[in-house]
Amino acid sequence: MLALGRRRGIMTEGFKEELAKELGFYDVVQREGWGGIRAKDAGNLVKLAIEKAQSQLMNKS
């Protein structure tokens, strides 16, 4: 789960892994865990997740 503060996040582990693969840093996640990614990569992951969620909402309308 993506940590939002210290609370449980809303993204599944599988979805985060899919996004990390798409963004090209999944190898870092495998080696070092989610704490090993750069802040920029974490931001890009969240941005991509938001874009995908918005796209799904648009398609439902």
**pLDDT digits 0-9 by tens, 19-52:** 999 999 999 999 999 999 999 999 999 999 999 9
User: How many Å apart are CA 6 and CA 14, to the nearest integer?
Assistant: 20
The pLDDT value recorded for residue 10 is 81
For 35, which DSSP code? G
The whole-number pLDDT of residue 8 equals: 63
- DSSP structure class, residue 4: B
Looking at residue 36, its pLDDT comes to 97
Q: Number of H helices and number of E strands within the chain?
A: 3, 0
Tally of CB atoms within 10 A around 30: 11
Does residue 15 contact residue 46 with C-beta atoms inside 8 Å?
A: no
> What's the whole-model pTM score?
0.80
Quick one: pLDDT band at residue 61, thresholds 50, 70, 90? confident
